Amino acid sequence: MLPLSRPAARPAATSRSSQPGLKALRRACAVAAVALIPVLAGCEAGSNAPVLHWHPPTNGASATIKEGGGEIAIRNAFILGAPPSATLPAGSSASLFVGLVNTGPRDRLVRITAPAAATSVTLPQGGVLLEQDQSALLTGPSPKLILTGLTRSLLGGAYVKVFLTFQNAGTVGLDVPVIARSDSYATFSPAPTTSPTPSVSPGHKHRGTGGSATATPSPGATATATATATP
């Protein structure tokens, strides 16, 4: 007699070792969300919004903070200026736009300052929560970040030193361009005349001057930052 064939072996259950690969994929998707910032901003405004037709702005400032085995990517930060040949006068307000992607531990943007250009910078109530492997697109068309009480006039093409403070990752500074409200940027909203709720102040200190970015991490965190801006 021919020997009976053994039943085919059942496939092994998926091991836990595959989970790191899944986590890496989630992080890659979170970082890829930066490229979708302009598209998502248009979707927020509705299917007929003019922002669906604008070209993605790419000449903002960027920086990265390394923290907790991941990073917080700050992408395409810019200040919306006045129309061409005009300036935002001292005493007025200005809109700030930026995209944030967090691939590290949960964190929160709690404070923004621009000491050489504005009296204060306002944030949404309670700051901006950054869950792990998630993005926060503060990209408009209506501003959620506003420089209030400008201490000097701002002309398109200028740069403003802005410091972003995170609850755990610390503070990073970068030179943010002022971009005239025209062409692709004409679809962004200028700052309202009334100020939103003031930003949360955790008592962090920032340091560093000039064009390079600096980061001051909280205890236990290792933060490094680099900033670039394309005029």
Residue with tokens 């007025």: 92
Single-letter code of the amino acid located at 175: D
Any idea what the Cα angle at residue 201 is, between residues 198 and 205, rounded to 5°? 135
User: In this predicted structure, what is the pLDDT of residue 192?
Assistant: 86
Q: Could you give the CA distance from residue 148 to residue 5 in angstroms, rounded to a whole number?
A: 80
In this prediction, residue 90 carries a pLDDT of 96
- Dmax (CA) for the chain in angstroms is 99
What count of residues does the chain have?
231
Residue stretches of the chain with pLDDT short of 70: 1-58, 194-231
- The pLDDT assigned to 67 comes to 80
> H or E segment at 57?
none
pLDDT tens digits along 148-190:
999 999 999 999 999 999 999 999 999 999 999 999 899 999 9
16 vs 26: CA distance, rounded Å: 16
**Two tokens at 119?**
């009296």
What does pTM read for this prediction? 0.65
pLDDT (0 to 100) of residue 135: 93
Residue in 176, 147, 146, 199 with CA at minimum distance from that of residue 74: 176
Count of C-beta atoms within a 10 Å radius of residue 29: 12
- Omega before 198 within 30 of 0, i.e. cis: no
pLDDT, tens only, 68-80:
788 999 999 999 9
- Residue 61 is inside which H or E element, if any? strand 61-67
For residue 94, what are its two tokens? 């200005």
Percent helix, percent strand, percent coil in the chain, to nearest 5:
15, 35, 50
Predicted local confidence at residue 134, as pLDDT: 92
Instruction: Name all domains of the chain by residue range, CATH numbers in brackets.
Output: 19-229 (2.60.40.1890)
